[in-house]
């Protein structure tokens, strides 16, 4: 039986194909898309830029060998996802994006292969493509979109966080999402602490969580508003703040007893779970011969923030 959201995904795909910012990849153009996808993998995984158009078969083979398992071509083509060109202001091809033909998580569109060539960056083309996907999802009654990012691709991860995506998991890679059920959020630094705040129409920016250090350990505090928040915010606020902490090289572990239990949150949840997964992500990258450029974790003196309940041992 075809589920209702399968039909909604198909309608959303049709919206994307008819929109002004994207153009569906035509039959016969799949190999070109695959080369642009390869350029994205080479830059993200190896830190090297490749001009995708005109890449000779022998050069393509060498790049895929260097990338190993991650450099394999996507099997099945349009059976699994629809592929689109991202267009620039003049209608020329400037990037790629793909959307699965089925949903992820709580019925979200699944986005992959988001890439813009270097000479077309800084003009909002990737952000515009994500806006198109989000608008198509919401128009068809789907709860936004979801994408995955590699911890070892920090530029991409930072980009998605700047777009306001929430962190919803880290089972196989970092999973991020934009959903109408989740408000806008921001992360601010004040007196050595990082504060996560969410937007409220009546009250403006409302503090939810704050994270600081005590020696080399994390201190994580909750506000009354966090404890009273609905399930979506409570579920994803901690993991979202955890990723911001990790990218700044701040501690993710509240103490030895928390680290001993970190495996319990290896899919999502507490910041210790993210620390546990980062070790695995970096081990896998090194084993595959890929560079790992990770943040450092310098200690700082202990500080205290009044009015915040400590959520764990220090």
User: Block means of pLDDT (10 residues each) for the chain, length 314 residues?
Assistant: 73 96 93 94 91 93 86 67 96 97 92 96 97 97 96 94 97 96 96 96 96 94 95 94 96 95 95 95 87 54 44 49
Asked whether residue 189 falls in the same domain as residue 67, the answer is no
Q: Is residue 293 part of a domain?
A: yes
Asked whether residue 201 falls in the same domain as residue 254, the answer is yes
Asked whether residue 67 falls in the same domain as residue 134, the answer is yes
Asked whether residue 215 falls in the same domain as residue 143, the answer is no
Q: Is residue 160 part of a domain?
A: no
Structural domains counted in the chain: 2
In this prediction the pTM is 0.90
Q: Distance (Å, rounded) from C-alpha 45 to C-alpha 52? A: 15
Q: Is the dihedral of CA 277, 198, 140, 116 positive or negative?
A: negative
Asked whether residue 117 falls in the same domain as residue 2, the answer is yes
Q: Is residue 176 part of a domain?
A: no
Asked whether residue 103 falls in the same domain as residue 192, the answer is no
**Count of CB atoms within 10 A of residue 270's CB?**
22
Query: Tell me, what's the pLDDT at 105?
Result: 86
Asked whether residue 254 falls in the same domain as residue 119, the answer is no
Query: Tell me, what's the pLDDT at 309?
Result: 54
Evaluate whether 208 touches 222 at the Cβ level (below 8 Å). yes
Q: Distance (Å, rounded) from C-alpha 167 to C-alpha 246? A: 12
List, in order, residues 6 or more apart from 41 with CB less than 8 Å away.
67, 70, 71
Q: Is residue 55 part of a domain?
A: yes
Q: Distance (Å, rounded) from C-alpha 211 to C-alpha 189? A: 9
The continuous run of DSSP H or E covering 220 comes out as strand 217-222
Q: What is the CATH number of the domain that holds 23?
A: 3.40.630.30
Query: Tell me, what's the pLDDT at 77?
Result: 60
Q: How many residues does the chain have?
A: 314
How large is the angle between the packed helices 125-139 and 4-18, nearest 10 degrees?
140
Evaluate whether 85 touches 132 at the Cβ level (below 8 Å). no
Query: Tell me, what's the pLDDT at 305?
Result: 42
Query: Tell me, what's the pLDDT at 230?
Result: 86
SS3 call for 189: strand
Q: Is residue 299 part of a domain?
A: yes
Q: Is residue 106 part of a domain?
A: yes
Structural domain for 73, as ranges: 1-149
How large is the angle between the packed helices 30-46 and 57-67, nearest 10 degrees?
40
Q: Distance (Å, rounded) from C-alpha 212 to C-alpha 195? A: 9
Query: Tell me, what's the pLDDT at 300?
Result: 34
Asked whether residue 266 falls in the same domain as residue 188, the answer is yes
Q: Distance (Å, rounded) from C-alpha 259 to C-alpha 253? A: 6
Query: Tell me, what's the pLDDT at 304?
Result: 43
Asked whether residue 142 falls in the same domain as residue 242, the answer is no
Q: What residues does 82 pair with on adjacent strands?
A: 99
Asked whether residue 128 falls in the same domain as residue 6, the answer is yes
Nearest to 114 by CA among 103, 101, 102, 125: 125
Which of 149, 170, 194 is where one domain is finished? 149
Which of 134, 149, 164 is where one domain is finished? 149
| Strand blocks (E) in 132-173 | 145-149, 166-169
Q: Is residue 157 part of a domain?
A: no
Asked whether residue 111 falls in the same domain as residue 195, the answer is no
Asked whether residue 224 falls in the same domain as residue 96, the answer is no
Q: Distance (Å, rounded) from C-alpha 138 to C-alpha 115? A: 23
Q: Is residue 253 part of a domain?
A: yes
């Amino acid at each position: 039986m075809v589920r209702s959201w399968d039909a909604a995904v198909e309608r959303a795909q049709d919206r994307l194909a008819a929109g002004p910012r994207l153009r569906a990849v035509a039959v016969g153009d799949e190999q070109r898309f695959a080369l642009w996808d390869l350029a994205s993998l080479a830059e993200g995984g190896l830190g090297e830029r490749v001009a995708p158009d005109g890449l000779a078969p022998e050069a393509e083979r060498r790049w895929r060998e260097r990338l190993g398992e991650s450099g394999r071509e996507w099997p099945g083509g349009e059976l699994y996802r629809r592929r689109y060109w991202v267009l620039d202001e003049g209608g020329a091809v400037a990037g790629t994006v793909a959307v699965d033909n089925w949903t992820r998580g709580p019925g979200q569109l699944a986005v992959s292969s988001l890439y813009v060539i270097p000479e077309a960056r800084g003009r909002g083309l990737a952000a515009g493509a994500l806006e198109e996907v989000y608008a198509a999802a919401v128009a068809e009654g789907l709860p936004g979109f979801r994408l995955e990012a590699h911890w070892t691709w920090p530029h991409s991860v930072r980009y998605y966080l700047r777009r306001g995506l929430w962190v919803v998991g880290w089972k196989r890679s970092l999973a991020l999402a934009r959903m109408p059920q989740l408000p806008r959020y921001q992360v601010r630094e004040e007196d050595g602490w990082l504060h996560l705040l969410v937007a409220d129409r009546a009250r403006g920016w409302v503090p939810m969580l704050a994270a600081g250090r005590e020696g080399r350990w994390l201190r994580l505090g909750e506000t009354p508003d966090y404890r009273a928040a609905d399930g979506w915010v409570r579920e994803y606020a901690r993991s979202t703040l955890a990723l911001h902490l990790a990218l700044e090289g701040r501690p993710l572990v509240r103490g030895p007893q928390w680290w001993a239990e970190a495996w319990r949150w290896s899919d999502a949840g507490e910041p210790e779970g993210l620390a546990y997964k980062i070790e695995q992500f970096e081990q896998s990258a090194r084993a595959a011969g890929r560079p790992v450029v990770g943040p450092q974790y310098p200690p700082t003196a202990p500080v205290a923030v009044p009015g915040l309940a400590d959520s764990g041992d220090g």
